[in-house]
Amino acid sequence: MSETILAALEQYYDTVPRRGGARGEDFGPLTLFVQEGPGWQYYARPAAGGANATAEDVRAVLKRQRELKVPESFEWVAENTPSLRAAVEEAGLHVHAHPLMVLDEDAEPLPPHPEVRLLGAGDPLLRAAVTVPALAFREPGTARGTAGPAHLAAALEDPASEEHRARVSATAWCCARASTTRSATSPRSSVSAPCPPPGGRGWPSG
What CA dihedral angle connects 182, 184, 185 and 191, to 10 degrees? 100
From the list 205, 105, 189, 194, the residue with the least C-alpha distance to 152 is: 189
Q: What is the pLDDT of residue 83?
A: 95
Strands, E assignment, 53-151 = 116-119
Q: What is the pLDDT of residue 55?
A: 97
Q: What is the pLDDT of residue 54?
A: 96
Q: What is the pLDDT of residue 64?
A: 97
Q: What is the pLDDT of residue 112?
A: 81
Helices (H) and strands (E) in the chain, counts: 6, 6
| Average pLDDT of adjacent 10-residue blocks, the chain of 206 residues | 85 87 94 84 90 96 95 93 96 90 81 81 86 81 82 91 79 55 41 44 40
From the list 70, 76, 83, the residue with the least C-alpha distance to 22 is: 70
Q: Model's pTM, two decimal places?
A: 0.63
